[in-house]
Amino acid sequence: MSGLFKKPDTSAAERQIEETRKQTAMERQRAEEEKRDMMETEAARRRSRMRGGSRMLLSEARVAPETGIQTLGASSAERTA
């Protein structure tokens, strides 16, 4: 009869719950870090678009964008030099 009034052993279940809580906390922290990194990257992109400087003026369409725009009055010999 003494076994009827004893509490069942729940230590294994409690350990499992604690382990699950720890994993959840770690995953939440990792997700927050990833979100922060993504927001910092987006902010850097936004900043570079707003304050891009001369880099924004370079065209990707040209072979050598650093050479600048050729004027209409330049001869073909000047363009190749």
pLDDT tens figures, 49-79: 777 665 556 666 666 666 666 666 655 555 5
In a domain, 53, yes or no: yes
Q: What's the pLDDT score for residue 67?
A: 67
Model confidence over 13-43: pLDDT tens digits? 999 999 999 999 999 999 999 999 999 999 9
Alpha-carbon span 17 to 23, nearest angstrom: 10
Tally of domains within the chain: 1
For residue 59, which of 71, 47, 50, 67 has the smallest C-alpha distance?
67
Q: What's the pLDDT score for residue 62?
A: 65
In a domain, 4, yes or no: no
Is the model more confident about 9 or about 53?
A: 9
- Find the domain containing 21 and state its range: 11-80
In a domain, 1, yes or no: no
